[in-house]
């Protein structure tokens, strides 16, 4: 996500300033997923909220206000999902591991071992045992669609060898591999770490490729149709509104924690080292 200080005309009413978190969605639009408002003493004065300082004097308190909404879930689904369905980071996945027994005739031993494995893993993970009568391929498809991070497959041959097949939802290199059933907990944890790494690096790469420093209004107008533009801004509200009107976008705000080489305002040409993010918000 990008972090920016909202312009004065877009801050929370009554706040000293607002800092917002915006996610760049796959279609090039931005989604605000969180805000932090510095309220200063404005609301304290309105509602007479005071404290006694060390000198015994009554002082108005300074307040902040924070907000994070379900939009986080929307951005997570959109950014990480693929053609196979949901892709959920292990940390937030409702089901982290699904155990799929591969059943043939007289597979009671496999089913019983799958149940025991599920019970064992449930001590550390959120686990589901798929004991339905669907074919293995249908089960695989369904759980991939739901975004379960790790699938375990257990068949008669695996049981004989004391192994289980582990198949992560996202992977690098080999998709499926056999591991010792007695050490499967550690293997699952390794896969979780790898999944988090893959998802983070992919999302970060997507964000970086969607950001562009633009030197003209025309260049910025083209960029906001596919991502986020960064342009020089003198700080004047009038120039901010001109940018919004000509680029058919919103001034998201000035970058927080990021620096860009800026020399002049994209509208008036005045010398400045300030800049703003431009985007098309949902």
Name the residue ranges covered by the structural domains of the chain. Answer: 2-80+210-279, 97-206
pTM of the model: 0.87
Class of domain 2-80+210-279: alpha beta
Which band of pLDDT confidence, cut at 50, 70 and 90, is reported for residue 95?
A: very high
Count of CB atoms situated within 10 Å of the CB of 128? 17
Q: What CATH code would you report for 97-206? A: 3.40.50.800
Over the stretch 238-259, which tens digit does the pLDDT of each residue have?
A: 999 999 999 999 999 999 998 9
CA–CA–CA angle 211, 217, 221 (5° rounding): 55
For residue range 138-197, list pLDDT tens digits in order. Answer: 999 999 999 999 999 999 999 999 999 999 999 988 889 999 999 999 999 999 999 999
Distances (CA, A) of 126 to 63, 134, 181: 39, 22, 18
CA distances from 219 to 19, 33, 69, 226, 261 (A): 26, 27, 33, 12, 17
């Amino acid at each position: 996500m990008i972090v920016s200080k909202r312009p004065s005309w877009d801050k929370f009413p009554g706040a000293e300033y607002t800092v917002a978190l915006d996610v760049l969605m796959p279609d090039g639009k931005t989604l605000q997923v969180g805000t932090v408002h510095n309220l200063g003493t404005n609301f304290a004065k309105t509602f007479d909220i005071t404290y006694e300082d060390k000198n015994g004097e009554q002082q108005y308190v300074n307040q902040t206000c924070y907000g994070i909404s379900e939009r986080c879930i929307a951005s997570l689904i959109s950014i990480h999902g693929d053609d196979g369905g949901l892709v959920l980071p292990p940390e937030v996945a409702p089901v982290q591991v699904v155990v799929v027994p591969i059943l043939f005739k007289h597979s009671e031993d496999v089913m019983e071992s799958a149940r025991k494995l599920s019970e064992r893993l449930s001590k550390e993970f959120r686990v589901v045992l798929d004991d339905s009568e669907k074919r293995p391929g249908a089960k695989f498809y369904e759980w991939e669609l739901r975004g379960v991070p790790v699938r375990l497959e257990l068949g008669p041959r695996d049981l004989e060898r004391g192994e289980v097949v582990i198949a992560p939802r996202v992977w690098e290199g080999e998709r499926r591999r056999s591991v010792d059933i007695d050490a499967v907990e550690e293997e699952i944890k390794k896969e979780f770490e790898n999944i988090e790494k893959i998802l983070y690096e992919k999302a970060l790469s997507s964000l970086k490729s969607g950001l562009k420093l633009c030197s003209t209004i025309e260049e910025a107008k083209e960029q906001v149709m596919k991502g986020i533009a960064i342009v020089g801004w003198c700080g004047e509200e009038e120039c901010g509104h001109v940018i919004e009107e000509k680029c058919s976008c919103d001034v998201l705000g000035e970058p927080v924690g990021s620096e860009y080489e800026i020399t002049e305002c994209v509208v008036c040409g005045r010398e400045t080292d300030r800049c703003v993010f431009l985007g098309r918000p949902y």
